[in-house]
Chain A
Amino acid sequence: MSGQAPEVPRPAVRPQTDASPAGDLPLAVIGQPGVPFVEIETLRAREFIPAAKEALSSLLKEQAQGKLIRPVFNWAGRNSLFPLHWGLACCAIEFAAAFGARWDAERFGVVPRSSPRQCDLLIVNGTVTWKVAHKLIALYEQMPEPKWAIAMGNCATGGGPFRTAYSVVPGVDKLIPVDVYIAGCPPRPENMLDGILRLEQLIKERGE
């Protein structure tokens, strides 16, 4: 009999690599003209900071020569979409859930902000009435370019169950340009995340 707890096998510590992490990183090619931009999704967290440093310094060098690199801004923009924190109706509950712990939209770089001047994405999450329509337009116009809009839910897409009501805008595309429509009443947070990822795809394809 002994008072000692049995030895618990521990997972082996992952060995540190001696090789310089920035050595053959795809990000190193960003600054070279004519070379297509390469995704950095293969980076591990430990490798990211030196790679980002290098990318940034080469970017600054390019900028000093007057050559701005559009793909970098495209990549940075589409991976850090900041939607406006604006809840309109029941869909706003699902919108909020998507940013909670379970679905965690922040892992895609999507962070809701409270001021339209800090946002580049307007997610219209609910029923838009004629009374609030001019405020929606004002918010959209206050957002800096480039900006995108998602119509979330049936109400924002086409009026939803209130389509024939006297007070409801039958689809926010009557008021602002919309890039992605998400169906559902309400759409589940997964749908919303899918919509955001599709918008990222769209931004990449358009090269905005």
Chain B
Amino acid sequence: MDAKQLSDGLATRFPGKILGVDPLDGTLGRIRFDPAVATDLFRSLRDDYQFTHLTLVGATDWIDHREVFYVLWSDTDRLYLVLSANLPTDAPVIASSVPIWPSANAHEREAWDLVGVKFEGHPDLRRIFMPEGYAYHPLLRSFKIHEPEDLEVKVRSD
């Protein structure tokens, strides 16, 4: 399988929802997709293209939008594939990939905790590195480095 085959196959399945394929070193390529088809695209990649393993989910704040990216691994073809979707800053919401790849669980919690991307359908979307009650998503660009005394944190007592 090469990138052309894959992108053509996906483009016929999801017309107008595959926004582009960029070459990316060490992988099959980077597919930019419309977040509206996330769940169907994930299922199709797992069942029809044998991307059975999700290596990581991450997110970045690009100020005017936020990007979510997924790194997939195919055991049959021994290839990586990168997916990426742009989300609007005012509503950074995308469907969760946990029902398709359970290994996404902790990664999506991390992306929610640090970059504030909401994954709809995640079974347990809690903070993972910061305590419950922490008021910020600290890897957002709008988070300024404080004098630590300005930080408002509630510490629960057991």
Contact = CB atoms under 8 A, between A and B. Distances in A.
Given A137-B157, A138-B158, A175-B155, A164 B130 contact: no
B16 to A, nearest CB: 40
Contacts of A175: 155
B155 A137 contact: yes
A168 B146 CA distance: 12
A167 B158 contact: no
Interface of B: 129-131, 134, 136, 138, 143, 145-149, 151, 153, 155-158
A164 B146 contact: yes
Nearest to A166: B138
Interface residues of A, number: 15
Among A135, A138, A159, A166, the one with the most B-chain Cβ atoms within 10 Å of its Cβ is A166
A188 B158 CA distance: 34
Nearest to A163: B148
A159 B148 contact: yes
A172 to B, nearest CB: 12
A138 B146 CA distance: 27
B94 to A, nearest CB: 24
Nearest to A175: B155
A33 to B, nearest CB: 43
Contacts of A195: none
B158 A130 contact: no
A182 B87 CA distance: 48
A116 B138 CA distance: 33
A170 B155 contact: no
Given A134-B157, A175-B155, A167 B146 contact: no
